[in-house]
Structure 1
Amino acid sequence: MIEDEISLLDKISDYYGNTILKELKSKKKEIQKVFNILIEKEAKKFNLVSENSVHNSRYVQVISRVKKKNSFREKLIRRNIGSKIINNLKLTEQNFDRSKAKISNEVENLDDVIGLRLVCDLNKDCPGALEMISNNLGFLKEHKISFKTGEIESQPQKMKNGLSIYRLKGVFDDRIGFELQIKSKIDEAWGELDHFIFYKDYSFFPSKTSVQQTMNNVGKLLDKIEDLLYDLRRSKDDYNKNLKNLLFTQELSEAYSSKIKDILGFSYQVEKLAPTLRFFIENYYPTFNIKDEENSEMSFKFLKYETSNENYKYYRNRSIELKLIEAIYINVWECETKQKLTSENYKKFSSHLCEALLENIKEEILQADTLSDYDQDLIENNFNLLIKFNSNENPWISGRLFSEFSKIRREVLDFISENFESEMEDEILGEDEIEQIYSIFLLCQFDANLEEFLDNLTERNYTQQVIIKLKEKYSNSISLNIIEKKINVFSLQILNHLAI
């Protein structure tokens, strides 16, 4: 029986190698051509192009492959695909030739025989490449390319090792399946090496587990190299950005420093206000010239008005920085909208202001963060958690603390994936508990009401064990960086409360 099935699988593989493969290679070229056109047309809009006085270069390119005959045969057997084809088509030696058209359809529908990769220079470019695809689904559809429902929204996906991957299942011409991955050049090279060493090596050798752990650690080191390369690439952009910030801060100081001093009775560092106000102006009123406000008056009448967000009001009334930001932004808003702020329209204005403040926080975090999966929704959820548990540090204007926390979060998640891999695979340490663990560190970072949160933990299977092991790791380290020192202090703080 098994001999008959293997014989049929060999015939399918031969038919694939002699006939189907040629057709798939042709379709692969068509698909790749569409993505090359898309990149040529749209890459600049999504910050995937570098421009200088000499030449322009793209941060993303398309590579593709179709599985070779031997790899295809192995796929048929290893993933039971061949058995399904045989059973679905009721294949026999006698009807094989008559079933070739149906076999072609079955193979063409497989979602990873054709593989494409958008290879980006750095991991930081991958979200932009995904956004480029997401914003051009109409263009792709015109060229007979579509993605299965939910594919775009579910990216990036979590792998068993805790790392993330961008992997989308697509269809060309309503029948040809393909898989599209988005990854950096370093991840591409690393994946090829890891694949070569382990993917098709099913043999046992005593050091295999330790070798795999070493490979995983090297992979994490490569992530840190990615961060350094990104910093180097950003250095020129940062210089230009910092120059613009300096010019804006100077104009802000000239327009408002003396007014603020008259109100407070002492000089105030307007540079603390500049990044937020610059974000507001550039994103909402880009034609506004702050020099026009040199003769305007600052008013704080809005403090008496009813706001649309009581949480914002709570923090604003305890922050001179937020009060000043709002007062200056009111000047901008009045100048640009040709309206006067009143108690009647203040709720609408304050709603806009809160949205703008949150968008500023998100932008600041995403620019500083190297975690592709720390997206806007997750940031907003973290923000709301801080509001709920009364953080002492002001979350409305603490982008720096959020950015620093993203590195703490990454360190904690890496530690969990490295030390609790089997528990994650068995799903006894689930995503909800992992999210709960890093939320505890978020509350520590913002000096929120940690006690209330810990007293109401919904998942306790491994939370304490993870924090104990984190404390043990960093307590025994000779030299700690800033992030590791914070994790060490926070772990002790958490364990003291839990009386471990």
Structure 2
Amino acid sequence: MKLEIFGFIKDTIELLEKKEEKLQEKVFDLNNFFEREFSDKDYFLNVNHRIKSPMSLKEKILRNNYYLKYNNPHTFLMNLPDLIGVRLECRFIEDETKIYKDIVRIFDNKSEGGYYYNSDDPSILLKLDDIQPQVQKNGFEIYKVDGKVFCEGDLFKFELQIKSLVNIFWGEVEHKILYKNYNYMLMENFYRDIMSSIKGNMTMIDRQLMILHDHLNEVNSNKESGRIKQFESMLAKIIYEIYSVKIKEKLGFVVDFRNTCNLIMNYITKKERPSERSEYLLLITNILIRFNEIADDSLNFDEYLSFEREIKFDNDFCSRIGTSILDVINRDFRWNMLFRIIFDIEKGNNAEDFEGFVIFLRERFLVKLKPELAALSILENEERNLIEEGLMSYIADIFTMNIDIDFMNNDNIERLNDIILNLVRNLKSYKQWEDEKEIIKERLFMSYTMNP
């Protein structure tokens, strides 16, 4: 005969499954409410939510003896303080306080028992009379607010947390190493000391990121491009650290792919085309979030890359470059690694990412070539277009001679751009281009190959 507690667990899980549709509806409402209220705050990142899973519920009942505290599953479920979990995510630890102050401002109507609500949605209540941030058992602070939400006769409880990127990561580490791992209990004090040290280091990282953020956000626009390059360099190093570990785990050794990481970072930032400082800061923040998501994921560097559909190209340059890369992408390790990392970082469609990368490469040349051609007032628009197509064809010729990934490096592209611009500046007419384009092509090839 089974213990009664297991009958209680079974009935509770069945009740949870019956109310799942209601719970999902209220989680959706909570998510929308907080997204609506905070979407215009630059320090706000995201709303994350979850409903207690059956396994988590079972574990909680066993660990806390809830069977002895409640008469029936319904009473227990309605009184479980974190049946629903909602997390408001922000960039830095200091931003947690900003969000909490916004919460107090938004929930400005008092109800009973220290709870407050917003007139736009009176079904959501938050207990704001408690001291915040709360001090946890581990001695660290957290913004954790008790909440209640009404739904068709039921009153579900939820827990609202406010966490910065560093504290999100810290919470995962602590939860998995101490809270969920009972093998450490015999040496708990030792491990808590170690965890305290880790927490201190992560707080320092938060401060460093804040300093970098403020540095990037300074008003002096004369130094803006330099700060952006510094920030992109830092992110490229993070890519290298993340994937060098993955490569070593899989292959047993690490290759030097620092130039590849710089190229990947340059591609990601240029692809999004941030036009204002605030957009760039948001992009960098989202990149950091993505790095946090993929840091522990495994990645196979010994498998073929595949695409969801046939790759399409809009012009001759992209077609020649793209087709050449596709021909070696599953034969050359460095090409394979480049796109494997891009596909891992970028969420979505591999085919679209590949096409976007080839377009990015084309624009790396056009960004300087187009203004230089536009400055030649002696040319008609059609003549400029023909010269542009001819020069881009020459660049494709150089690339397809070797299909070397080092062709993509920033220094190499800058050098090739300089050579092309010097040749363009010597043009006096379109007739000169027609008469000398083969000579120009030869000069371009010679200048490039003589200074590899």
| TM-score exceeds 0.5 | no
TM-score normalised by length of structure 1? 0.39
